[in-house]
Amino acid sequence: MARLNNKIALITGAARGIGAAVATCFVEQGATVIITDKNTEAATQLCEKLGENAHFHLLDVSQESHWQQVEAFVKAQFGRLDILVNNAGITGFLEAAGPHDPEHLDLESWHTVQRTNSDGVALGCKYGIRLMKASAAASIVNISSRSGLVGIPAAAAYAASKAAVRNHSKSVALYCAQQNYPIRCNSVHPGAILTPMWDAMLGEGAAREAAIAGIAADIPLGHMGNASDVAYAVLYLASDESAYVTGIELNVDGGILAGSSAAPKSN
């Protein structure tokens, strides 16, 4: 039996990478999925690929007015929400001028990262809770990062924003339990997952292959992960199989955080 039968799910930043892998996995497992993103073209193409159980809605997670529009859409079309995956996130390397280190950070670049990664998750949880109170059993899964648990010298804003996601997830979990809402909340912490987010850091051709090999050398399992590795972790937390699990962080990092090594250069 499909693990998400009759579930209504919404995924942010779902046009590519981890978000697209989660959306694909959820549809395969029986869910109706609302794919949200700013990238209309890629998100629409994904919906067409996934079929009638995938629906697109434009969403800039940093804009509360966009969340209000999504809330109205979900209420009108489905009446409730069972699963929310707050996946949208940026490193800031491409989206902001920088620099991003603690000594020289550019404040507007810092705010650019926080607006998407931290504010976006806070708004997602706010409107998710409002939609999920009508569910019999609901789950919020917030995508943080390995960088939410360790420092990143050259990406201070990114690391801080992902740490905020981890902590806010616990606050949401406790709040929903306190209010007797049928809503659980957990965070997932990917590390060394080969997605388009890495492209700017890895380069192309032989240099890219060398960079990937260098990263893999520091991973206990010996290779970078892929988006489906994260999707299956999210699937567990989204499903009723994890009914007694709330407020945790689930690491999907090939064993990196099990030990210690030099300070990481990226997520």
Going by DSSP bridges, is the β-strand pair 138-143/83-86 parallel, antiparallel, or unpaired? parallel
Tokens 């924003």, residue located: 161
Per-residue tokens: 183:
């809503």
221-243 in b/e burial notation, b at 16+ Cβ within 10 A?
Answer: eeebbebebbbebbbbbbbeebe
Q: Is 158 a catalytic residue?
A: yes
Contacts 24+ apart (CB under 8 A), 203-211: none
Options 158, 175, 181, 232, the catalytic residue: 158
**How many CB atoms neighbour CB 132 within 10 A?**
27
Residue at token pair 């939609």: 131
Annotated catalytic residues are 158
